[in-house]
Structure 1
């Protein structure tokens, strides 16, 4: 069994928040797709920065500044190695996935013109829809949608038929935040490159579960948020191929992203600083590296196997409850997400009662309204699992769900 590959009791001790009570009950945290919890090792890393070497980076000759700069740049190298980017300067540190996508929409999108076509999947989070709509309104490009199918997967036949020499960019998430669907991004990237289109993959939901190799994928842009993978909020990364970053104009102006400034002319700094204007989230960047260290110590293959075991177990139990409707593909085609409704009940009501029993899960449209419109529902209840969750917690959740249903019917 995958569970034997690591010590779940020891892992849970690393997460202080898992010891607390909510509404008098032991916390069962099943909202990991929104944000994962943070282990003490990462929390300690943040405290260490502020207690011992808090200083601005890249600009000071004094010791604290040098120490902070070294720690921040070492974190960039950890991120580079984790995603197997060719160069460290291909990693742009951002405030998160939304920032990274907007950077590409503004900078690379500025090179698109009227008549160009861009494809976006129907499974996207709003952060991978709205920036492209704004971009198309600005430059006259045409936004086309890759439809979804009833099973929560993409209509790949439509995708292939839609590609043409007019296609300049394709935007797709690696994993759907609302359904957990794992998209065939290698097939998408290969096909898009056949017509010389660039591909941006939103990896925010995939990163906690799947270790992406950006060189093997040959992806042009890949985005991630640290808070989905045991890191702090307010920090993430954009990977982009060096040649694309060289072509793109800066997204923001200010300190750090310049080489020289005069009132007559400004020249821009080299990579990655060209896209990192202003003082960054220094502690967050360093902690992002610490979070990767922590997850690697456990092992991504072990994490993936264990979470899949939890998903299969939870799916089997919840399917035995009358009136349950599960959205999305079968467990073998998704990550550890159960998006469901109970016939005749509103997800919000379920979520409210479950919270009174100490169970945290997400209800609503999950910032993926087009998916809900496809299924003709206002939203779903979403239980999402991480490697620090247990089968015992799933049993507690299933019992609580049955109680909630009986209370509402």
Structure 2
């Protein structure tokens, strides 16, 4: 009997919707294809000029792939990446991340294509299809960079070895190269760049983080101020200083505009591992959850042992008050009852007659 795949609920729904939407789009395009140009399905995918009357396409377009190759990549991404992140974060946090990581890039791509049409007057920009799992792919890579910053990916038997934070930039460059060919459109490059920035901004400043059970601190902390998740860490060493300077200026501008809240002293202490567990320690989020669970069980076991010992311990006898010893001695000139009443002798009459 084959082993049963344990897929979390949200990931399972994503896989089903990806397969259903992609097959439905392929069937519609195959039925209506007349051999001239590319057919668009504006009520499934986002097309700036045609999809305004179908607002749900801002969400459904991410789960529509146009060919078998991209569909396979999208299915693998959702299966492995979604299953890992949903177990690490919980289904609720995973849904929030999906909404932000897909909806915002689609909106930004829509606005940028309309702006290109306004500048150039070329109607082709507004007839470009915005679809595919590219926002999910780059968002998952950014999330892995936060959870596993010290891990290394080895390819081709050790010929290529890359740290996980290098993968988002490599993926962005690959999409850029493919967008220069007929395989991908310009919208794909817009999606990957905006998805990169959106997912990193959400994880850096807005996503809830877990507090450490060993210290007393607020349980609702937002963002990740650790140095291992700084924006410059995604780039090679030679360009890190330049990227760090630019990102610092952008961050200060966003704080001034009150778009991003500045990190507090507690957040900075958290990033150094002083009050919470620092992101980027070796291991996964599941291992961190197991560690926290072990700490909680250990504390509970200690409390139960103390309570049991206090209940079974015999109570000590009440303390005795020390004082001078008292001895009972006969008191002089004290009359007993017999002397007080006098002596009485009782002689029966028969005995007295016998004596006479």
Please report the TM-score for the alignment, with normalisation by the length of structure 1. 0.21
Answer with 1 or 2: which has the greater Rg.
Answer: 2
Greater strand content: 1
Q: Which structure has more RCO (C-alpha within 8 Å, separation ≥ 6)? A: 1
